Amino acid sequence: MIVGLGGFIGTVARFLISRYFQVNVASVFPWSTFLVNIVGCLLIGIIYGISEKGDFLSPEIRLFLTVGICGGFTTFSTFSNDAYMLIRQDEWFRFALYASLSFFLGLMAVYAGRFIIKLI
């Protein structure tokens, strides 16, 4: 139940951010999915960094935050569909930029989240 509640919260947050970008940003580049995934990576890095630092989070709260909220907030399926749509539109440069930056910045965001917690 706790993971489902977190997933609900994360999914609604992702939907609202996506909707904001659909209404306010005219771009072929899938900014909403890109930013949601990078922010989600930063959050999961922070959460696991806190978990590794001590007993600040119970296993249940960690599941709620990581599997639930972060899992519902980020989305590999939407990332893959956005990448596919860029290919279909012959936007090869944007596809390469989106795919490579999503992976690299996502990895760096997880690292940054853990690093920030280690500094505290």
pLDDT digits (tens, 9 = 90+) for 17-49: 999 999 999 999 999 999 999 999 999 999 999
Q: Note the pLDDT of residue 112.
A: 97
Residues spanned by the domain of 44: 2-119
Annotate 11-64 with DSSP letters as a single string.
Answer: HHHHHHHHHHHHHH---SS-HHHHHHHHHHHHHHHHHHHHHHHSTTS-HHHHHI
28 contacts 100 by C-beta, under 8 angstroms = no
Q: Note the pLDDT of residue 56.
A: 86
Tally of structural domains, the chain: 1
98 contacts 86 by C-beta, under 8 angstroms = yes
CA distances from 37 to 44, 93, 94, 110 (A): 10, 20, 17, 11
